[in-house]
């Protein structure tokens, strides 16, 4: 039974004989902020890659708002309302901030190459609309001054925020965030926390985030799923998961075992 906006059923992923994900089940409800944590190598990024279509599971099903997305191309899954960010900066370096954001609206516009080349009305109208929306997105994250800058001129923290803005501008239903807090200072972390909440509250977007900064996860997530060695070992409210003995063992147990 599929209960959530995004549901994952019995997904298995193998890489050359290694079982990277084994029988994962996940249900994320609309409007939730879900945290996905676990020690390194647990399969968290693989999970995101499978959901976004970069990898195909050997077994299992994934449904987004009731539609099965296994086997679809990443661009098709994006069309259905899934967005994601990546661990490393994937801003388009050859474009300005504004243009990066306008590219985020790709799936919402339809002008083709003939329309563009011959400068037909549709192109003009869509360009104007896209620019308007890009400015609004910049206002939402408070970065309008950087509109004409090349993406590479921004600081690291600003780039991360911009990527999130770029994913949001297409109004996806679900956004996957891969370690959004990596490398952020304490001040920036608080800003990220606020931003994530605003995204959920003002935009109604469902978020799934992989994070290692546990403090952020505890503060902002409604529910937390824990992966370890390809299996899901815990799933529940942040405080509950934090005190779950198997979770503690998964994180610490590896250290202890390594030391003997």
Residues near another protein (CB under 8 A) are 52-54, 73-76, 78-79, 82-84, 86, 90-96, 98-99, 102-107, 109, 111-113, 115-119, 123-124, 126-128, 130-132, 135, 144-149, 153-158, 163, 166-167, 170, 185, 188
Output the smallest distance, CB 102 to another protein, in A: 6
Output the smallest distance, CB 48 to another protein, in A: 10
Output the smallest distance, CB 229 to another protein, in A: 23
Integer CA distances (angstroms), 222 to 30, 69, 236, in order: 12, 25, 9
DSSP secondary structure, 88-146, as one string? S----TTSBHHHHHHHHTGGG----HHHHHTT-HHHHHHHHHHHHHHHHHHHHTT-GGG
3 or 155, CB closer to another protein?
155
Nearest to 72 by CA among 55, 60, 90: 55
38 or 83, CB closer to another protein?
83
CA distance 75 to 80: 9
86 or 251, CB closer to another protein?
86
- Cα dihedral 55→26→82→240 (10° resolution): -120
Output the smallest distance, CB 182 to another protein, in A: 14
64 or 154, CB closer to another protein?
154
Radius of gyration of the chain measured on its C-alpha atoms: 19
Output the smallest distance, CB 241 to another protein, in A: 28
12 or 123, CB closer to another protein?
123
């Amino acid at each position: 039974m599929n209960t959530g906006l995004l549901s994952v059923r019995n997904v298995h992923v193998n890489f050359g004989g290694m079982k990277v994900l084994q029988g994962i089940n996940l249900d994320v409800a609309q409007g939730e902020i879900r945290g996905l944590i676990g020690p390194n190598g647990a399969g968290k990024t693989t999970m995101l890659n499978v959901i976004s279509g970069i990898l195909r599971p050997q077994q299992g099903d994934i449904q987004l708002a009731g539609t099965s997305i296994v086997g679809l191309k990443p661009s098709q899954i994006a069309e259905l309302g899934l967005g994601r960010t990546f661990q490393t900066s994937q801003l388009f370096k050859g474009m300005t901030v504004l243009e990066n954001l306008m590219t985020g609206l790709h799936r919402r516009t339809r002008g083709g190459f003939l329309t563009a080349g011959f400068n037909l009305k549709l192109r003009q109208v869509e360009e104007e609309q896209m620019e308007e929306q890009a400015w609004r997105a910049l206002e939402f994250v408070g970065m309008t001054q950087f509109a004409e800058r090349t993406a590479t001129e921004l600081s690291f923290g600003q780039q991360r925020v911009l990527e999130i803005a770029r994913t949001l501008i297409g109004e996806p239903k679900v956004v996957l965030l891969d370690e959004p807090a990596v490398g952020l200072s304490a001040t920036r972390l608080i800003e990220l926390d606020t931003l994530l909440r605003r995204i959920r509250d003002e935009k109604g977007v469902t978020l799934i985030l992989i994070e290692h900064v546990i403090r952020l996860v505890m503060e902002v997530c409604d529910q937390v799923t824990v992966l370890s060695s390809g299996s899901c070992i815990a799933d529940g409210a942040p405080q509950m998961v934090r005190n779950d003995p198997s979770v503690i063992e998964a994180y610490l147990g590896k250290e202890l075992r390594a030391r003997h």
